[in-house]
Structure 1
Amino acid sequence: MAAAFLGHLSQGRVEVRSAGSAPADSVNPAVVEAMNEIGIDLSAETPKVLTVEAVQASDVVITMGCGDVCPVFPGKRYLDWQLDDPAGQGVEAVRPIRNAIEAQVRTLLIDLLPREA
């Protein structure tokens, strides 16, 4: 959800990579439904495995509780967002998680993107 929000809200001004340390085989259907409710289609997305190369190629690395599993490199900016895991949850439980992620992404974009005149 964070990657989808980042891509959507930045309107392509931020290159986004999304991966997990132990990704599921498919995106949670409740997540797809919750994102569809706000006009973001995740139906074609597939979870990806986090690689060292992806972290090395990134300026900002956002983790969501991966702890020591996530690779750490000097010079990278790391943010750990403490959010509930939507895995196995229904759409009612996913909506507040979705909204919290959107708020985090909006705050991040204020920091990442220069103000337009």
Structure 2
Amino acid sequence: MTPEPQALPGLLTPEASLHRLADDLAARFTGVFARETVDRYVFESYTALARTARVGAHLPVLTARFATERLTALAQTEGAIASDVCEVLFVCVHNAGRSQMAAGLLQHHGGSRVHVRSAGSQPAATVEDPVVAAMAEIGIDLTAEFPKPLTDDVVRAADVVVTMGCGDACPVYPGKRYLDWQVRDPAGLTVGEVRAIREDLDRRVRSLLAELHTAGSPA
């Protein structure tokens, strides 16, 4: 039985919203997943995000995005949804700085040639404000992004996993390419200091994209 979620301030009855979301996702993934699987992913995703949420009013919307991403990743892993581009996952500790910046940069430079996800081993409540500001300076909008916990499904769906400071938190599966980037953590830094991290990540991302393009295959 799926446990009933606990309400947060600003969200008095999460059950109704989550059941509606499960209805929508069950219809979207008809023939791919049983309703029980969809329900479990929706409620697990809500619970995971609620651990660090400061305000519950936007949590159903974030849950919808997170659950959809996880179910899509699971469907890709099981071969129910085909992916003809390289799947890249960036992982850091809080998913509030380095991994968000790298994901934004790779999506910006790679466009439709790649599909990018990010996650954190210990996700924070929000993306760091100086990170959002520094990325906005080069035309990359992170205001709609939010920290997401690292889950097994997104790791399994990735062709390339790039870790930054999260140690052994990321599970290792055969057939995937793993990279560990030594990049300074932007937590607590000024926008000026974050710019240097942004430039470091931009060079690394451009190099990775060139390698992926040259290889002509996901892994």
2:104 paired residue number: 4
Check if 1:50 corresponds to 2:50. Answer: no
- 2:199 partner amino acid: N
Which of 98, 101, 111 matches 2:201?
Answer: 101
Q: Going by fraction, where is helix more abundant, 1 or 2?
A: 2
Question: Which has the larger displacement, 1-10 or 64-73?
Answer: 64-73
- The 2-side partners of 1:27 and 1:20 are apart by 11
Check if 1:85 corresponds to 2:170. Answer: no
- The 2-side partners of 1:32 and 1:113 are apart by 28
- The 2-side partners of 1:22 and 1:80 are apart by 17
Instruction: Give unmatched runs, 5+ long, in structure 1.
Output: none
2:122 paired residue number: 22
> Whose RCO is larger (CA < 8 A, sep 6+)?
1
How far 1:7 sits from its partner (Å)? 0.5
1:38 paired residue number: 138
How far 1:74 sits from its partner (Å)? 1.2
- Deviations 1:17-55, CA, capped at 9 Å, x for gaps: 111111211010000000000111111110111111111
- Deviations 1:46-98, CA, capped at 9 Å, x for gaps: 01111111110000000002111111111110000000001121101101001
Which of 55, 72, 79 matches 2:172?
Answer: 72
RMSD: 1.2
- The 2-side partners of 1:102 and 1:12 are apart by 18
Instruction: Give unmatched runs, 5+ long, in structure 2.
Output: 1-100
TM-score, normalization by structure 1: 0.94
List, as ranges, runs of 4+ consecutive aligned residues in structure 1 with deviation greater than 4 Å. Answer: none
How far 1:114 sits from its partner (Å)? 4.0
Q: Percent identity?
A: 60
TM-score, normalization by structure 2: 0.51
What SS does structure 2 have at the residue aligned with 1:18?
Answer: strand
- 2:205 partner amino acid: V
- 2:105 partner amino acid: F
Alignment: residue pair count: 115
What SS does structure 1 have at the residue aligned with 2:179?
Answer: strand
- The 2-side partners of 1:22 and 1:89 are apart by 19
